[in-house]
């Protein structure tokens, strides 16, 4: 396929997806209204093991199982996301005690690994276990995510960069590793996907630093660096970023920039053109968000990507990923 044809195909697909989203929204409104008549069935209660927040893939910073991925794998990605969303909602539920969160998360882990005694209330764990068995992907990726959320229940401050990187190894990196394994990629690519996933996690912490403090009393800002600037964790309680906090944000972004040197190599380390295209899009979104955070004030207003940012990264990234796929494997000296 020529690049010009690929670019046109991606453009058509982006437009088509937008139209389909509008159609789905209208249909959903219609079905909702028609179901409110006399005798309409009530919505079944959520699983007693879960605490749904109402968030979904549309609320994420980055595409989740987009059309760029092979069609036959999207249902598996959806099961992984549903599992991750369920356990994340438990960890972020401010009404639960730390003990309750840990108990629920531990039960999900047991169900994921096939322990007996866990019924349909753990359906998302069962579905992911079956998916991973079918595709030959280890359940460790799901268990690592659970370990991260258990850590969230126990630890809400990070003194050093190394501590934060250690958290990201559990909370973010398993997602990239899962996708590489699902596509049959070599594990040597973990180095590059780990770098990208860690960056995505850290920039999200910076975006949400105020909300994390207010809603969950979690602070992922490096405390030692705040002290060096004569500040403390109360900087996130303010309406605007102080000069000292700005220095710490920029220092954390410097760390992200260093990681991006490896992250940008991910598309060329992948054999799957589909996954290379997807990852190239995400690399560009990460680069863009770092730039926005350099200029923006996450306490004054949420620093977020625009529709134009997504469209631009989608078009340029898809084409670049298609071209770059497999290059690093063909020329390992380029690493």
In whole angstroms, give the CA distance from residue 88 to residue 152.
Answer: 10
**Per-residue pLDDT in tens (0 to 9) along the chain, 335 residues:** 555 554 555 455 544 444 444 434 434 433 333 333 433 333 334 457 888 877 755 555 555 556 678 899 999 999 999 999 999 999 999 999 999 999 999 999 999 999 999 999 999 999 999 999 999 999 999 999 999 999 999 999 999 999 999 999 999 999 999 999 999 999 999 999 999 999 999 999 999 999 999 999 999 999 999 999 999 999 999 999 999 999 999 999 999 999 999 999 999 999 999 999 999 999 999 999 999 999 999 999 999 999 999 999 999 999 999 999 888 876 665 56
pLDDT of residue 64: 57
pLDDT of residue 56: 58
Q: Which of 198, 220, 216 is nearest to 290 (CA)?
A: 198
pLDDT of residue 292: 98
Partners of 158 in the β-ladder: 222
The string of pLDDT tens digits covering residues 23-59 is 344 344 333 333 334 333 333 344 578 888 777 555 5
pLDDT of residue 42: 32
Q: So where are the chain's domains?
A: 71-154, 157-329
pLDDT of residue 93: 94
Are the CB atoms for 277 and 317 separated by under 8 Å? Answer: yes
Interacting residues of 287 by C-beta distance below 8 A, sequence separation 6+: 260
For tokens 């690493």, name the residue.
Answer: 335
Interacting residues of 106 by C-beta distance below 8 A, sequence separation 6+: 146, 150
Q: What is the largest CA-CA distance in the chain?
A: 70
CATH no. of 157-329:
1.10.600.10
DSSP one-letter string for 71-97: HHHHHHHHHHHHHHHHHHHHHT-TTS-
Q: Which of 166, 164, 153 is nearest to 224 (CA)?
A: 164
């Amino acid at each position: 396929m020529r690049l010009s044809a690929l670019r046109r195909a991606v453009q058509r697909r982006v437009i088509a997806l937008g139209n389909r989203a509008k159609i789905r929204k209208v249909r959903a409104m219609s079905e909702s209204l028609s179901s409110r008549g006399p005798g309409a069935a009530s919505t079944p209660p959520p699983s007693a093991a879960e605490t749904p927040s109402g968030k979904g893939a549309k609320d994420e910073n980055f595409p989740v199982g987009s059309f760029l991925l092979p069609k036959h794998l999207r249902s598996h990605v959806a099961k992984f996301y549903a599992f991750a969303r369920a356990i994340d909602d438990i960890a972020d539920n401010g009404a639960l005690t730390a003990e309750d969160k840990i108990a629920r998360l531990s039960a999900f882990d047991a169900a994921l690994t096939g322990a007996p005694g866990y019924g349909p209330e753990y359906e998302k764990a069962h579905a992911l276990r079956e998916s991973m068995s079918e595709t030959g992907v280890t359940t460790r990726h799901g268990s690592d995510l659970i370990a991260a959320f258990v850590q969230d229940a126990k630890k809400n401050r990070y003194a050093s960069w190394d501590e934060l990187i250690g958290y990201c190894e559990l909370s973010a990196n398993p997602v990239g590793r899962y996708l590489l394994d699902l596509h049959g990629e070599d594990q040597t690519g973990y180095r590059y996907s780990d770098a990208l996933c860690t960056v995505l996690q850290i920039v999200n912490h910076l975006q949400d630093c105020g909300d994390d403090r207010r809603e969950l009393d979690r602070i992922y800002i490096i405390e030692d660096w705040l002290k060096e600037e004569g500040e403390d964790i109360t900087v996130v309680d303010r309406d605007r970023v102080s000069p000292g906090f700005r220095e710490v944000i920029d220092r954390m972004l410097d760390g992200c920039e260093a990681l991006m040197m490896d992250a940008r190599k991910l598309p060329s380390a992948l054999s799957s053109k589909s996954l290379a295209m997807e990852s190239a899009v995400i690399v560009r979104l990460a680069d863009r968000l770092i730039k926005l955070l350099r200029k923006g004030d996450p306490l004054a207003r949420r620093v977020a990507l625009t529709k134009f940012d997504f469209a631009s990264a989608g078009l340029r990234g898809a084409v670049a990923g298609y071209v770059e796929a497999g290059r690093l494997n063909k020329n390992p000296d380029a690493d």
